[in-house]
């Protein structure tokens, strides 16, 4: 057992009671809990609709289908993100155009315009590690070139950009409830948020065999639904999300104070309110440091060790992949330290003491 794990799900009596309530209800798929979860998610994001699905990857695929993404079309997306950020578009035959990162690890907006071609249809910023991308500049460019913007909010539920909740700004946004995320359903789950009635309606049909009603299949759809037990658990997590995000911010501030001058700490822009899905430091001796911390019972992670434009599945597919110097450098040096809402500052101090020890300051 690790002394300090990298992350941990919220598991209290409320969660257990919610799961039992769903079990005993006799309804297991897309029923009352899912409907309530959708209403609560939409309210939290500040959008008209939230459509739950079996994962974010599934939801994003349905969103692309609902928006009519076509083979050959191009989407500007960071390479430095979870691999599933790019899978759904590729399944639709569209092509990810990989953009390098800035110092916040989000897409460098100054590189966007040069990457636009006549085939470009949209921009998909990823609010990585909980820090929002530079949305104002992204929208400026999107408007000028008639592109849509879809936000990947898997790591940033509740984060703010200039006071606006992420996921409420683009034509649609996606969330993941995978066990490592800030809000989890203790299984797979995800949702798409949007203000667009037609997109919402189409995703609802597509996720459930193209059904308009029980016996009418208006579209050839899929089975990418969410379960009631997952939704019931997610509803509890959502009630605690803002408080737990605040705790993450306090933990990050503590790390910042303790680690300043020892390692490169994660920046937060003045206009950003990050929810620190990950607390990511930089070290030129990253692998050694990770090993040292592991020996002290401290869980760490690398998000992610291989950039997507260098993944075998991608290099096999395209022969015109770009060089992304900042991304390629970052993946060598980044290290995610333990962070989750219930992590104690004592444990944070233990991690910081160990890092000081590694660098010979203690
Ligand atoms: C987790 C994650 C996904 C995938 O979410 P799933 O629910 O596991 O499909 C996509 N994008 C980012 C940035 C993620 O962190």
Residue 64: how many other CB atoms lie within 10 Å:
23
Which of 177, 192, 97, 190 is CA-nearest to residue 145?
97
Mean pLDDT of 80-99: 98
What's the mean pLDDT in 180-204? 98
* CA of 81, closest atom in ligand 1: 13
Q: In the chain, what percentage of residues exceed pLDDT 90? A: 98
pLDDT band, residue 1 (cuts 50/70/90): confident
What is the per-residue pLDDT across 152-164, written as a single tens digit (0 to 9) for each?
A: 999 999 999 999 9
pLDDT tens digits for 287-320? 999 999 999 999 999 999 999 999 999 999 999 9
pLDDT at 72: 97
In sequence order, what are the beta bridge partners of 173?
A: 151, 193
- Decide whether any atom of ligand 1 lies within 6 Å of the 81 Cβ: yes
Confidence of residue 2 (pLDDT cuts 50, 70, 90): confident
List, in order, residues 6 or more apart from 246 with CB less than 8 Å away.
Answer: none
Q: Are 240 and 341 in contact (CB under 8 A)?
A: yes
Q: Is 130 in the pocket of ligand 1 (CB under 6 A)?
A: no
Assess whether the C-beta atom of 88 lies below 6 angstroms from ligand 1: no
What value does the mean pLDDT take over residues 81-92? Answer: 98
Nearest CA to ligand 1 atom 11: 85
What pLDDT does 246 receive?
98
Residue count of the chain, please give it.
362
Q: Is the dihedral of CA 137, 269, 304, 251 positive or negative?
A: negative
Measured distance CA(80)–CA(209) in Å, rounded: 33
What are the residue ranges spanned by the domains of the chain? 13-235, 241-358
**What is the arithmetic mean of pLDDT over 152-179?**
97
In percent, the amount of the chain with pLDDT more than 70 equals: 99
Q: Which residues pair with 122 in a beta bridge?
A: 75, 148
DSSP secondary structure letters along 144-194: HHT-EEEEE-TT-TT-EETTEETTSSSSEEEEE--TTSSS--SS--EEEEE
pLDDT over 90 at 81, yes or no: yes
Check if 230 has its Cβ closer than 6 Å to any atom of ligand 1: no
Measured in Å, residue 59 CA sits from the centre of ligand 1 at 10
196 pLDDT higher than 60 = yes
Question: What's 248-267 look like in SS3?
Answer: HHHHHHHHHHHHCCCCECCC
Please give the CATH architecture assigned to the domain spanning 241-358: Alpha-Beta Complex (3.90)
Any ligand 1 atom below 6 A from CB of 178: yes
353 CA to middle of ligand 1, Å?
32
Q: Which of 79, 124, 128, 155 has most ligand 1 atoms within 8 Å of CB, for mutation?
A: 155
- Ligand 1 center from residue 230 Cα (angstroms): 16
Please tell me the distance from the alpha carbon of residue 325 to that of residue 108, in angstroms, as a whole number. Answer: 12
pLDDT score, position 362: 57
What would be the CATH architecture of the domain defined by 13-235?
Answer: 3-Layer(aba) Sandwich (3.40)
Q: What is the pLDDT of residue 361?
A: 66
Q: How far is the CA of 193 from the centre of ligand 1 (A)?
A: 15
pLDDT in tens, 252-287: 999 999 999 999 999 999 999 999 999 999 999 999
């Amino acid at each position: 057992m690790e002394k300090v794990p990298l992350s941990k799900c919220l598991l209290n009596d409320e969660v257990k009671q919610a799961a039992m309530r769903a079990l005993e209800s006799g309804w297991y798929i897309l029923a009352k809990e899912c409907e309530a979860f959708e209403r609560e998610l939409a309210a939290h994001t500040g959008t008209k609709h939230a459509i739950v699905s079996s994962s974010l990857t599934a939801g994003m695929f349905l969103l692309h289908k609902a928006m009519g993404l076509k083979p050959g079309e191009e989407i500007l997306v960071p390479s430095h993100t979870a691999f599933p950020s790019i899978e759904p578009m590729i399944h639709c035959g569209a092509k990810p155009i990989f953009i390098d990162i800035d110092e916040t690890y989000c897409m460098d907006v100054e590189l966007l315009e040069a990457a636009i071609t006549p085939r470009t249809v949209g921009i998909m910023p990823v609010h990585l590690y909980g820090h929002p991308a530079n949305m104002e500049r992204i929208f400026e460019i999107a408007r000028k070139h008639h592109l849509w913007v879809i936000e990947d909010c898997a790591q940033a539920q509740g984060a703010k950009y200039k006071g606006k909740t992420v996921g409420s700004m683009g034509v649609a946004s996606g969330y993941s409830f995978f066990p490592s995320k800030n809000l989890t359903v203790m299984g797979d789950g995800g949702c798409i948020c949007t203000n667009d009635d037609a997109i919402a309606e189409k995703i609802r049909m597509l996720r459930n065999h193209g059904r308009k009603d029980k016996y009418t299949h208006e579209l050839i759809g899929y089975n990418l639904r969410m379960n009631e037990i997952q939704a019931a658990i997610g509803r509890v997590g959502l009630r605690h999300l803002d408080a737990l995000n605040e705790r993450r911010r306090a933990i990050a501030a503590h790390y910042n104070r303790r680690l300043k001058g020892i390692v490169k700490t994660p920046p937060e822009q003045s206009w950003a309110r990050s929810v620190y899905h990950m607390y990511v430091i930089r070290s030129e001796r990253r692998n050694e440091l990770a090993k040292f911390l592991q020996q002290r019972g401290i869980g760490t992670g690398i998000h992610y060790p291989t950039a997507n434009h260098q993944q075998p599945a991608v290099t096999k597919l395209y022969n015109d992949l770009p060089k992304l110097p900042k991304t390629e450098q970052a993946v060598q040096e980044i290290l995610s330290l333990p962070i989750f809402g219930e992590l104690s500052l004592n444990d944070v101090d233990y991690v910081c003491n160990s890092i000081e020890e590694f660098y010979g300051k203690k």
